[in-house]
Chains A and B, each alone.
Chain A
Amino acid sequence: MSAHQHPHEEQDFLFKYVFSQDHKMISKQFLITGFIMGFIGLSMSTLFRLQLGFPGESFWIIDFLLGSWAENGVMLPDKYLALVTMHGTIMVFFLLTAGLSGTFSNLLIPLQIGARDMASGFLNMLSYWFFFVSSVIMLISLGVEGGAASAGWTIYPPLSALPQAIPGSGLGMTLWLVAMAIFIASSLLGSLNYIVTILNLRTKGMTMTRLPLTIWSFLITAIVGVISFPVLLAAALLLVFDRSFGTSFYLSDIYIGGQVLEHSGGSPILFEHLFWFLGHPEVYIVLLPALGITSEIVSTMSRKPIFGYRAMITSMLAIGFLSAIVWGHHMFVTGMNPFLGAVFTFTTLLIAIPSAVKVFNYITTLWKGNIKFSPAMLFSIGLVSTFISGGLTGLILGDSALDINVHDTYFVVGHFHIVMGLSGIFGMIAGVYHWFPKIFGRMLNNNLGNAHFWITIVSSYGIFFPMHFLGLAGVPRRYYTNSEFPLFENLLDINTLITWFAILAFAGQLIFFFNFVYSALRGPKAPQNPWKGNSLEWTTGVKHMHGNWPGEIPTVHRWPYDYSKLNENGDYVTGEDFIPQIVPLGEGELDGGGH
């Protein structure tokens, strides 16, 4: 690629930091906005856990933070629903979709494939600003009359379709839909860029089988996003038509306050089909980037080549494909034909195969590795753990005969928080620890990172593991209080325990946020290649520059996982235990990616 050199021109503040078209700055913008949203979502969950752990008890913090959403320090029931809804929406979409993909796809795609920037810097900038506007609208919806959307993050009609249904079905719901429409536009613009950049702008020598697995995961995630997000947009639009124009796509025979509404002929189940056609792939939109990040970190920090590189790619492709044909497993109780239910059970259980391949490969990569337990590695291993424990309960929920018994109970809440929530967040945090030197040019504090990991892993299992027992006992999700029912009275202790762990988890994240902010400003300066990694991003300077490499973009000669490669004499080939991708293959040396 030709590149014209000329004296450095300082861009002014507005175009360097605000309307930047540089992928690295946009990545920072996504990261910081995502973290702010994530912090808000996390705080919400801690607040409603107070209500669930200590139902009816007064807390000054609830009074202080929630204002009119609480009375005498106790949150109001309808606002509990709003908090649960907004927590889910923010965590799934704003933190784990835009925050995760937006940050790492933007940061790593050009740097790891050897490109100067994204295919379209302008669309990339738009993608961030749509995300920003969407975040602001979603937060504004917290303050409107009637409160924020309260129909759950899945916004099933009729609660979401009739403004008069519950307080949260009014303006709050409208703003939720507006925010999500803008969010989908942001996500699509981002995905377009990621796919085209990976397919068209790779440097010389960077064949598809020499791509780091992070890039493969971002590519498949973006493809899944392009295929599934438009369907959610279609679903949301029909919902807007029902809400605002009086059509009946999702509504039929509804009575409110003894009055029959004029809607007829629609079906709320239709919405569920459309929603879950996105909703299930969304799980993998969250998960795949986290898995890609983990692959990179596990290999680098074990000082071993990733085990089964091609099997990893094939599994991700299989997961991406299967994710689009399993949505019915969210709807086993909707009166679905049992035969159709069996088909969805079959396709769902098939996902266990590529997932198991991935887990096997992670463990085999770790096996006998020269493991460096950096915080990034700890969180990556944490992800392998949550992916297994959450995946196992997925087998139960994927089977219609078993799922029907625990549908809409805390078993489901425990399952998806472990397999999607924790895995996604662990992957994201692992990525931040690993690439912090690349993002900010400084190092995070390791001791604080280790403390952060141990508090997080213990407390998050402490939160979500007991939930399975609550679910098996029949405790339904989304209820304001479980102490009203004599049946569940003896389970209050478990709820209290979960809340204590939630408070501990929150405190653990404060350590991380402190470490993040302090190190970004005052942390020790990072060396160019702190983890002795092979991929191309470590060949760029610590100080960011527009265009990434000062001269020609380096040529790639090998796959990115040549760690601890030995010659016939049993010595390291290059004298070090890693061989960057830019080092040419020796005579007779085979390229690892081809195996």
Chain B
Amino acid sequence: MTTISLDNTKYKAEIRQKTAKPLLWIGLISIVMFFAGLTSALIVSKSNSIWIKLEVPSMFFISTILILFSSLTYQLSMSFTKNNQLKFATITTILTFVLGISFTVTQFYAWQQLYQSGIFWAGEQSNPSGSYFYALTALHLLHLFAGLISLLVVVTKSLLKKYSPTNVLGIQLSLTYWHFLTALWVYLFFFLKFIA
């Protein structure tokens, strides 16, 4: 008796090539809906009389610059890989990872700023406006951790020289996700600044 092996590498690679990107994109749509739900919730909550208008902590500006810059370096890394400049590609990927970590650090500093200015996450002295600030940014950061893990994988594979100009799917997926995180952050930043 014969059967089709779905475990052979060629078949798997073919299916992955066809489906990995759409899988990611539809996953991103679900994340968009998740944040759309949260930001709509904020708009509804805003109508409450005890809502306090908050200033965006200055550290969030730095976060924004860092994450924008990280998207740029990651894009560069992709171009380097496609041009077979693998050494530069590895360096820029590592730089992206470092920028991602720096973004994370600035988020913690921003929360500290919020806390010091008397804006609390929860408890008697908290206001839903403050809670939304923490919740939205923390949930974005949670998604960013997944991005950092994907970056780590790409960095490791780059160091092991697994990528080539014709084999970039892994980087492309991670890059798309990273750009998405940047766009999401920029949206959240302007949303918090002007709407919340």
Question: Out of A229, A265, A546, A550, which one reaches B128, CB within 8 Å?
Answer: A265
How many residues of chain A get a CB closer than 8 Å to chain B's CBs?
59
CB of A547 to closest CB in B, whole Å: 3
- Judging by beta carbons under 8 Å apart, are A192 and B23 in contact? yes
- Judging by beta carbons under 8 Å apart, are A231 and B37 in contact? yes
Question: Out of B5, B31, B129, B132, which one reaches A5, CB within 8 Å?
Answer: B5
The reply on A4 being an interface residue by CB < 8 A is yes
The reply on B36 being an interface residue by CB < 8 A is yes
Query: What is the bound-complex CA distance between A247 and B129, given in angstroms?
Result: 10
The residue on A at minimum CB distance from B33 is A230
The reply on A2 being an interface residue by CB < 8 A is yes
CB of A240 to closest CB in B, whole Å: 11
- Judging by beta carbons under 8 Å apart, are B26 and A2 in contact? no
Residues of B within 8 A of A273 (CB): 40-41, 44
Residues of B within 8 A of A6 (CB): 2-3, 5, 8
The reply on B55 being an interface residue by CB < 8 A is no
Query: What is the bound-complex CA distance between A549 and B6, given in angstroms?
Result: 12
- Judging by beta carbons under 8 Å apart, are B44 and A226 in contact? no
The total of interchain contacts (Cβ-Cβ below 8 angstroms) comes to: 160
The residue on A at minimum CB distance from B24 is A192
- Judging by beta carbons under 8 Å apart, are A4 and B123 in contact? no
- Judging by beta carbons under 8 Å apart, are A267 and B122 in contact? no
Query: What is the bound-complex CA distance between A6 and B9, given in angstroms?
Result: 13
The reply on A235 being an interface residue by CB < 8 A is yes
The residue on B at minimum CB distance from A226 is B30
- Judging by beta carbons under 8 Å apart, are B128 and A248 in contact? yes
CB of B29 to closest CB in A, whole Å: 6
Residues of B within 8 A of A487 (CB): none
The residue on A at minimum CB distance from B45 is A270
Interface SS of B by simple majority: helix
Question: Out of A2, A241, A247, which one reaches B10, CB within 8 Å?
Answer: A2
Query: What is the bound-complex CA distance between A117 and B34, given in angstroms?
Result: 29
- For chain B residues 112-159, which have a beta carbon within 8 Å of chain A? 121-124, 126-129, 131-132, 135, 139
CB of A8 to closest CB in B, whole Å: 5
The reply on A237 being an interface residue by CB < 8 A is yes
Knowing A248-B126, A547-B4, the reply to whether A229 touches B48 (Cβ < 8 A) is: no
CB of A334 to closest CB in B, whole Å: 12
Question: Out of B11, B41, B131, B132, which one reaches A4, CB within 8 Å?
Answer: B11
- Judging by beta carbons under 8 Å apart, are A245 and B121 in contact? yes
- Counting from the closest, the 4 A-B pairs by CB-CB distance are A547-B4, A234-B37, A231-B37, A119-B19
A-B contact pairs, 28 of them (CB 8 A): A2-B11, A5-B2, A7-B1, A8-B3, A117-B6, A121-B6, A196-B19, A196-B26, A199-B22, A200-B19, A200-B22, A226-B29, A227-B30, A230-B33, A231-B34, A234-B35, A235-B41, A238-B135, A247-B135, A248-B126, A249-B45, A262-B124, A264-B127, A265-B45, A266-B128, A270-B41, A545-B3, A547-B6
Please give 17 more A-B residue pairs, beta carbons under 8 A apart, in addition to A196-B22, A226-B29, A247-B135: A3-B11, A4-B11, A5-B3, A6-B2, A8-B2, A119-B19, A120-B23, A188-B27, A193-B23, A227-B29, A234-B37, A245-B122, A247-B121, A249-B45, A265-B48, A545-B3, A547-B4
